[in-house]
Copies of this chain bind each other. A is one copy, B any other.
Amino acid sequence: MAAAGPTRRSTAPPAKAADAPDFPRPLTTVDLVIFTVRDEALQLLLVRRAEPPFAGQWALPGGFVDIARDADLQACASRKLREKAGVQSPYLEQLGSWGGARRDPRGWSATHAYMALIPTEGMTLRHGANASDAAWFEADELLAGTAGAQPLAFDHEAIVRAGVERLRSKVEYTSLPAFLLPEPFTLPELQRAYEVVLGRPVDKSGFRTRMLAGGFLVEAGLVPRGTRRPPMGYRLASRDAPVVFPRTFGPRGAG
């Protein structure tokens, strides 16, 4: 928040008090791009809108900020994530905000978009009062603009695009994909998650070196996986934040 008195148009009604600025207030919402890895693909959760505007169309899960219940934006996002996906401690990161006069026919609106990474194993989708349906969509198919695909509500396609871009970008140098898998997971599984998100193969040897050097994995015993030699299972040492692998530029360890 900030300064109080930008130029007011003289035709507007007089301010009633410094305590409550009389600027017309935009609608304020929070939307979520919830990612997971399912069926060897990067997927995200959408809900079908039951009411106007954009009734019947798919949209990101989200909704209005409830100033009586939500202490702040992050708490609002957590609440909606709980309501829609029943998740407790996911990775949650702010993606940015989108606001303007035309994105919602009900008026000038601004949404605060968050990106969440969750494992999908044994998950049951819950529906909000306004969502007549919810389903997972492959990110690439959604953005490819396949013929016959319905457009998303509002400007949600732009938000999804930003989310996918942010995720792909960060996966290049962080341990983020680990948040997409149920624990314990194995290194080959983690590698597959990287490959699915990045859309390209990753070298096995370098991958292992990198992950283990990151020091964010804790051994959790061998995990029999049907076929042959059982791989080592791992858990995250901390769910607080992803590990950032060294970047370019600057003295060796100082990135």
Contact = CB atoms under 8 A, between A and B. Distances in A.
Interface of A: 1-7, 9, 18-21, 23-31, 47, 49-53, 59-68, 70-73, 80, 83, 94, 96-104, 106-112, 128-131, 153-156, 172-173, 198, 200, 210, 245-251, 254-255
A80 to B, nearest CB: 8
Binding site secondary structure of chain A: loop
Looking at A26, A96, A247, the one whose CB has the most chain B CB atoms below 10 A away is A26
A50 to B, nearest CB: 8
A67 to B, nearest CB: 4
A110 B73 contact: yes
Looking at A5, A70, A172, the one whose CB has the most chain B CB atoms below 10 A away is A5
Contacts of A100: 71-73
A116 to B, nearest CB: 14
Contact of A4 (B5, B63, B68): B63
Task: Say how many copies of this protein the assembly contains.
Answer: 2
Looking at A25, A62, A107, A210, the one whose CB has the most chain B CB atoms below 10 A away is A25
B3 A62 contact: yes
A5 B106 contact: no
Contacts of A66: 6-7, 9, 23
A248 B131 CA distance: 41
